Amino acid sequence: MNKKTIIKRADEKDALKEAASLLKSGGLVVIPTETVYGLGANALDARAVENIFKAKGRPSDNPLIVHISDISELNNLVKNITNTAKIAMDKFWPGPLTLVMEKSDIIPNIITAGLDTVAIRMPDNMVARQIIKLAGLPIAAPSANSSGKPSPTNIEHVIEDLDSKVDMIIDGGKTIVGVESTVLDVTGNIPMILRPGDVTREDLLEVFTQVEEDISIMKDDKDIIPKSPGQKYKHYSPKANMRIITGDLGNIVVRINQLEKIYREKGLKVGILATAETMDKYKEENLLILGARKNPKEIAAKLFFLLRKFDKMNVDIILAEGIEEIGIGRAIMNRMKKAAGFDIEKV
């Protein structure tokens, strides 16, 4: 694939119209959303969707999320809107929550990797919703990165991975949330989190009495088959090896400094991923700061950006501080653990 990729800012004249018309004619368009940038195509056109998999190098058994601009567009796409689904939509749409529902027959099998359910989201980002509305189509859109790499939170990262592989990229600035949507199975009476995100378990418990969580989210156990097929793949990986140190914050600092010295003396270039609370406890060289622990949303927004920054710094190993696994901290740690290939040390 070698295309001439058109790049336009979302506020340029006719940019969104052009994006919509390319989508209507079967093209690939990168669109900003509030979570990360998405690589969009007409969800009802199996050939267009096939090109998403090609451009990303995505395994064909990893299903895609379908995006809509209004709840009225949902009826055609699903068979059964459960009460669980209605409650979730009412409270959290538009927003960073994807709902897994029973699929209707117009959804091509390539979208769902042959499953009888489909994942649907109505994004909060106005540019995304306007493009979907102008196209008049449901838009399949996984994150706009090469498969395996950290998801793109700005247009530079999209260009690194997808320039000349897509028809158009719409620049909507930095994404706000920075990690992908929460994926929630709402086919039954009790909702189940298949991927943690900005809509947290705590948020969901405001409207549901019970919320389950797929056990594969936080564990690396080859015997567990994840309910969300994409979860089994290597994800979000920087080029360097990464190790997470969790536990008591004082101990974390001591251990990271110890490991830094050991690796440095072996001649390796060591990156440290720390937080505002601990930043002055490390050598400044190759030190990147996620943000303040008391503001985990900031950490989520910066995580993928900093993982890509380490790539550019050409570090050999990243030593990362673990984050408390509550609220959005669960999404942060889910992405960090996958990025680290589950190399975690508790101190």
Residues that bind ligand AMP (CB under 6 A): 62-65, 100, 112, 115, 117-119, 142-143, 180, 183, 194-195, 228-231
| Degrees to nearest 5, angle at CA 282 with 175 and 279 | 40
Verify binding: residue 147, Mg ion, rule CB under 5 A: no
d(CA 333, CA 328): 9
Least distance between Mg ion and beta carbon 265 (Å): 37
Q: Could you tell me how far CA 137 lies from the centroid of its own chain? A: 22
Instruction: Select from Mg ion, ligand AMP, none the partner in contact with residue 96, using the beta carbon and a kind-dependent cut-off of 5 to 8 Å.
Output: none
Phi, psi of 48 (to 5 degrees): -60, -40
User: Which residue bears the tokens 């995100």?
Assistant: 197
Stretch that binds Mg ion, among 42-50, 91-99, 134-142, 304-312 (CB under 5 A): 134-142
Helical ranges in 96-151 per DSSP H: 109-112, 126-135
- CA dist 210 to 199, 215, 327, Å? 15, 16, 16
Instruction: Select from Mg ion, ligand AMP, none the partner in contact with residue 81, using the beta carbon and a kind-dependent cut-off of 5 to 8 Å.
Output: none
| Degrees to nearest 5, angle at CA 25 with 148 and 107 | 60
The correct pick among 42, 51, 117, 143 for binding Mg ion (CB under 5 A) is 143
Instruction: Select from Mg ion, ligand AMP, none the partner in contact with residue 89, using the beta carbon and a kind-dependent cut-off of 5 to 8 Å.
Output: none
Least distance between ligand AMP and beta carbon 273 (Å): 22
Instruction: Select from Mg ion, ligand AMP, none the partner in contact with residue 64, using the beta carbon and a kind-dependent cut-off of 5 to 8 Å.
Output: ligand AMP
Name the pairing type of β-strands 65-67 and 139-140.
antiparallel
Per DSSP, the residues of 99-124 read EEEEEPTTS-HHHHTT-SEEEEE--S
Least distance between ligand AMP and beta carbon 143 (Å): 4
Instruction: Select from Mg ion, ligand AMP, none the partner in contact with residue 59, using the beta carbon and a kind-dependent cut-off of 5 to 8 Å.
Output: none
> Dmax over Cα atoms in the chain, in whole Å?
61
In terms of CB distance, is 53 or 208 closer to ligand AMP? 53
In terms of CB distance, is 161 or 260 closer to ligand AMP? 161
In terms of CB distance, is 102 or 233 closer to Mg ion? 233
Least distance between Mg ion and beta carbon 317 (Å): 24
Least distance between ligand AMP and beta carbon 231 (Å): 5
- CA dist 82 to 8, 92, 100, 186, Å? 40, 15, 11, 7
Q: Residue numbers of the site for Mg ion (CB under 5 A)?
A: 142-143
